[in-house]
Chains A and B, each alone.
Chain A
Amino acid sequence: MPASYLWLIPLLPFAGFLINGTLGRRLPRPLVSAVALIPTFLSACLWVWLWFTMKAPGAPESIQSVATLVGNSWISISGFHADFAFTVDHLTLIMLGVVTCVGFLIHLYSVGYMAHEEGYWRFFAYLNLFMFFMLVLVLSANFLLLFVGWEGVGLASYLLIGFYFKKDSAANAGKKAFIVNRIGDFGFLLAMFLLIAHFGSLDFSTVFSSIQQHPELQGGFLTAIALLLVVGAAGKSAQIPLYVWLPDAMEGPTPVSALIHAATMVTAGIYMVARAHTIFDRSPYALGVVAIIGAATALFAACIGMVQHDIKRVLAYSTVSQLGYMFLACGVGAYTAGIFHLLTHAFFKALLFLAAGSVIHALSGEQDMRNMGGLRKRIPVTFWTMTMGVFAIAGIPPLAGFFSKDEILFRAFVSPNPIGKLLWLVGIITAGMTSFYMFRLWFKTFFGESRFDEHHAGEHAHDPSQAHDGHGVHESPLVMTLPLMILALLSIIGGWVGVPEFLGGHDEIGAFLDPVFSVGTIQVTEVVSHGTEAALAGFSVLIALIGFFIAYALYYKKPGTAASYARRFPALYRLVENKFYVDEIYQAVIVTPLLVMSRLILGGLVDGGLVNGSGFAAGASARGLGSLVRRVQSGNIRSYAGWLALGAAAVIAVMIFGHSLWLH
């Protein structure tokens, strides 16, 4: 594939956005779908072509393409310039595959899911806009263009979370997502300023090669840059302390949650850390921070996920937790494992969200698991596909999640990090919790008695027309179940690209990403036998099974046991159910004081007193002048002209005579 064709990959969805965004309101729905889906499909085809180009024997390790627009660049001043430049290496190739393929499947699914919604065209326009920015993000060859995609996906996310903008909760959630992400961007921007100050460039190749040429650069300002990048990544990838926006983002339509808030956008932070691994490798301190943030987030979010009732919120916290795993992987220098988990997670979490969407669709908008149950027989395709997703995320071999999660845990265990074993322990506990909350979701939704009140079906729907035909619970149409089936298949086999050697595999993904990460990556110092690796893997399977059995006992055997346990520890339960009151704490500690300070001290004291007061003091001393001015404003334009002329004459007089009189 010619390198210049790279530009088509993002620009095709952008064209879809332009058409639907400007004309969509007047187009019939099938045409809107076609305008949105065809470019996305073509982008996926281009990716396939690109794949074969790069896999061909003798193909270069990376392809570059620089667009020459006006002035041959994007920003160009003396001493700095930034291009519209794309680059593709094996890492990009994986990301591109995830974005285009999963993206296309979710577009397809949305045709069914959004069929009865108002603003159908608007939805697809935004979705295509998202695809455009996400593809720019993964294709860019410099930090600045990456930041374009980075901010752009944030914008698309803002627009899509607030899709039902008449609902205050949706508008609030969109705003929160954007602002919290901006906190991350603050860090990202500062990191870029430091990069420019030290390297004079933001090109990946320039920056990374100059770091490689200077082995003496260790820590120091590189640590500062790395930590600032972590702030950015923590915002986008919903890590502690900036994870708070992601659960609220579930206000958006479910396909959006699947595409943006599970499979693609939120992984941008992990991608960025992996991309900048040359910087991170020089700063063990920053890597340690990444690992600790990841592990802590994984555990913390899993805790909250165990007690949520809204099916989408469980999945949201699960996403935060899984992203924590990926962070952990990057933090112990196992970038390949992180990207591997990113890949498999994209499959099974997209599947889980879409299947949850299918459940919600079947129940006409119901999202509370306390009102579900017994759906196994009534929506069989959804049930079976979701089962694959649940098994995959819970880490049951040989499904996808097992291989990738196990790789991360193993890498943490053997990492030279002094607290590597502790990180592993946190990871394995989280794995058990993950298994528990996912099977809890599975049992509560699909097994037991039906707790769904069919007479009130439709009350929860965003749009009453969604409770169409009045035939109650129903399986979704093929356009929705087909993506589910494909993703279920991928959730089963997706992990087989990374089967470790002790199980007779060849770890293809490791070899594939080796050219990207081999440069300067921390090597595993401990030589570990396959026996240890197998033992660790066996242990994590055991943990997953324990999680399953606890969920089985609590929610299938004797439903109600969980509630009685919850009653026994009311304070603890309420604490976790209310998400540790983090939102409330942020509100009380940061937002409210800031607003109060602005209103009272800055607005009242400084602006009202100091700034205006000094003005009034000047005004008072010139009150005579003020009344003069009032008299001047007689509304007669000729008198103004007269005053003007008089003033000018005075000035000139001062100039001519003053010059000789008092200035010498």
Chain B
Amino acid sequence: MNIDHNILTIITFVPLAGAIVLALLPDRDRIQQWGALAVTLLTFLCTLHLPFHFDYGVAAGTFQFQQNSSWITSPAIRYHVGVDGLSMWLVVLTGLLAPLGVLISWRVIDNRRRLFYVLFLLQQVAMLGIFVSLDLFLYYAFWELSLVPMALLIATFGRTENRRRAAIKFFLYAFIPSAILLVAMLWLYARTGTFDYPQLAQMAAAHSISSNSAALWLASLAFLAAFAVKVPVFPLHGWLSDSISEAPTAAVMVIAGKLGLYSILRFSFGLFPAQSHRIAPLMLALGAIGIVYGALLALVQKDLKRLAAYGTLGHVSVVILGIFAFTVSGIDGGIYQTLNEGIGGSALFMLLGLLYERYRTYDMREYGGLAARLPWIVTMFVLTALSVVGLPMLNGFVGEFLVFSGAMQSTIAHHIGWTVLATSSVILTASYMLWMIQRVFYGDLGRRTETIAAPDLTAREHLALWPLVILFLLMGIASPVWLRAIDTAGAHIAATVNRSQSVTMDFEASRASKPVSSSSETALNMTNQSASTKGAR
């Protein structure tokens, strides 16, 4: 039997099986850690099957490694999974981060380990499920599942007594829009009689979901809102810094970014291309503002973790800017930057966690002068900072460059202004990252660092960090390895959205007795764009 047909099922449910086994095993003698490590490593190895057997030449818009079987006949819910260039590397990334998360939690989590690792694996199941589901109902089940373990991880393993409040905040922020998302999905089902994503996407492209444009508009907003909170998009980030500040490192590594960003790319753009294009000017603005806003707030934080949290807001906003530019470069760069954010953000939070483990504080003012004492940690820290800052030859540059240049080529209103604003973040990001490095590692020893003698990286920590650092370099110089698959998907998304735009206009133009000024303006933009694409070739 060809493993290609159920590899995705294996990937998704190995952690679930692992979680069940761990729940039955006793919590002593590091059984839980080793068990979780084995499960996550196994999952990661399975995910590696994907890039090696992925057909890079296949036509855009088709899914690979599909499994599609009937689950419930009425309503028509199918067990349909599959990946394309958009989701494949996200699955692999999720697979990679999990064992690293286990390694980094090895000693930090010392109480209720069983609960921790079971929740951690459930979170893993939910994320993998989100990336592979092609049935809206299946997807929604995983989406809801992703909220619960995370909220519980924050509530149970949070750092301070604020953890409950942070957990509730996280849960409410995520849950309320998700409920609306469900309503929108049910409406879609009511209109079309199917939950199957590829079918729905085809209907969306053909404008046959509904002729009620107001309803479509509302549904698209419901989708986008749920995803935007999860990303989070400015100004919906109220939960972010509290949650990050409380959550244990392994949870922080996956808390923001990829789930929401992927969902926007897949479902908002796939099911509501015309509506997405219509809201793009707003999203482009929010992306650019979020980038600068996050960087500026990071600049004035005294708490290392909150600094990184606002930095995260800035980095996910880069993706928002890129994907809502609706150019190939912007979307490709956005997907690439989603991966970068997962890798670079994780490395940064891991390093901060290591410092906390040693000095029991995230207060920057307590640190100082560690460079001479912890040469390995400072090396890793500087490399991570350079990746985040977007130094060429490291991964961050490729993503940021593609996003910003894609935004510059966009046809969305005011794109030049937003691109200029967003690009100014290269100054601000460097400022807060270098300031953090200087405050923690350079100068004289700080109050806390003076009194506590802590060891440099241990072997386990080396093991957790090196894969990410190597990826910084590889993804910086050999980006085609990743971009090959991503570009097919990115070009397809850009084409779908832009085509829907022209079709809508034909549709509207045929209905309207006289051409509206706004639509003729868009038509002009369209011609401009096709001209510039020609120029590009």
Are B480 and A190 in contact, CB atoms less than 8 angstroms apart?
no
CB <8 Å contact, A629 and B487: no
State the CA gap A597–B292 with chains docked (Å): 13
A615 touching B238, Cβ below 8 Å: yes
Would B434 and A175 count as touching, CB distance under 8 A?
Answer: yes
Contact of B442 with A by CB under 8 A: yes
Q: Which residues of B contact A647 (CB under 8 A)?
A: 144
Q: A171 to chain B: which residues have CB within 8 Å?
A: 438, 442-443
Q: Is B427 a contact partner of A633 (Cβ separation < 8 A)? A: no
Within 8 A of A (CB), among B425-449: 426-427, 430-431, 434-435, 438, 441-444
In angstroms, Cα B479 to Cα A73, docked, is: 8
Interface pair A619/B431, CB less than 8 Å apart = no
Residues of A within 8 A of B236 (CB): 611
Contact with A along B457-490 (1 / 0, CB 8 A): 0000000000000000000011111011001001
How many A residues face the partner with a CB closer than 8 A?
79
A528: Cβ under 8 A from any B Cβ:
no
Which residue of A73, A158, A185, A186 contacts B480 across the interface (Cβ within 8 Å)?
Answer: A73
* Cα of A231 to Cα of B476 in the assembled complex, Å: 26
What CA separation (Å) do A171 and B438 show in the bound complex? 7
Tell me if A437 is interfacial: C-beta within 8 Å of chain B: no
A77–B493 alpha-carbon span in the complex (Å): 14
Alpha-carbon distance A73/B169, docked complex (angstroms): 46
A534 in contact (CB, < 8 A): no
Known contacts A602-B296, A619-B169, A663-B190; is A611 also within 8 Å of B238 by CB?
yes
CB pair A595 B430 closer than 8 Å: no
- The 8 Å CB contact of A659, one of B140, B155, B190, B537, is B190
| B-contact bits for A42-84, CB 8 A (1 contact / 0 none) | 0000000000000000000000000001111111111110000
* Interface set, chain A 150-191, CB cutoff 8 A to B: 151-152, 155, 158, 162, 165-168, 171-172, 175, 178-179, 182-183, 185-186, 189-190
Stretch at the interface among A195-203, A351-359, A446-454: A195-203
Nearest Cβ on chain A to B52's Cβ, whole angstroms: 15
Find out whether the CB atom of A155 lies under 8 angstroms from the CB atom of B386. yes
Q: B29-37, B265-273, B416-424: which lies at the A interface?
A: B416-424
Q: Of B206-214, B400-408, B517-525, which binds chain A?
A: B400-408
Majority SS at the chain B contact face:
helix
CB–CB B152/A79 < 8 A = no
A626 to B167, CA, bound (A): 10
A81 vs B269: C-alpha distance when bound (angstroms): 25
Flag A394-432 by CB within 8 Å of B: 1 or 0 each: 000000000000000000000000000000000000000
Chain A residues with Cβ under 8 A from B507's Cβ? none
Task: State the CA gap A172–B434 with chains docked (Å).
Answer: 10
* Nearest-CB residue, chain B, relative to A165: B442
The reply to whether B169 and A166 contact each other, CB–CB distance below 8 Å, is no
Compute how far the CA of A581 lies from the CA of B34 in the bound complex, rounded to whole angstroms: 61
Whether A70 contacts B430 in the complex (CB less than 8 A), given A80-B536, A194-B408, A630-B168, comes out as no
Whether A196 pairs with B332 at a CB distance below 8 angstroms is no
Verify if A486 is at the interface (C-beta below 8 Å from B).
no
Known: A78-B328, A171-B438. A182 touches B430 (CB 8 A): yes
Q: A603 in the interface, Cβ–Cβ < 8 Å?
A: yes
- Quick check: A598 and B391 within 8 Å, CB to CB? no
B282 at the interface (CB under 8 A from A): no
Given contacts A77-B483, A171-B438, A648-B141, contact A598 B300 (CB under 8 A): yes
**A-B residue pairs in contact (CB < 8 Å), sample of 10:** A75-B398, A79-B537, A155-B391, A175-B435, A193-B419, A193-B423, A196-B409, A200-B536, A625-B172, A663-B187
Residues of B within 8 A of A (CB): 23, 74-75, 115, 118, 137, 140-141, 144-145, 148, 152, 155-156, 164, 167-169, 171-173, 176, 182, 186-187, 189-190, 235-239, 293, 296-297, 299-300, 328-329, 332, 369, 371-372, 386, 391-393, 398, 401-402, 404-405, 407-409, 419-420, 423-424, 426-427, 430-431, 434-435, 438, 441-444, 477-481, 483-484, 487, 490-491, 532-533, 535-537
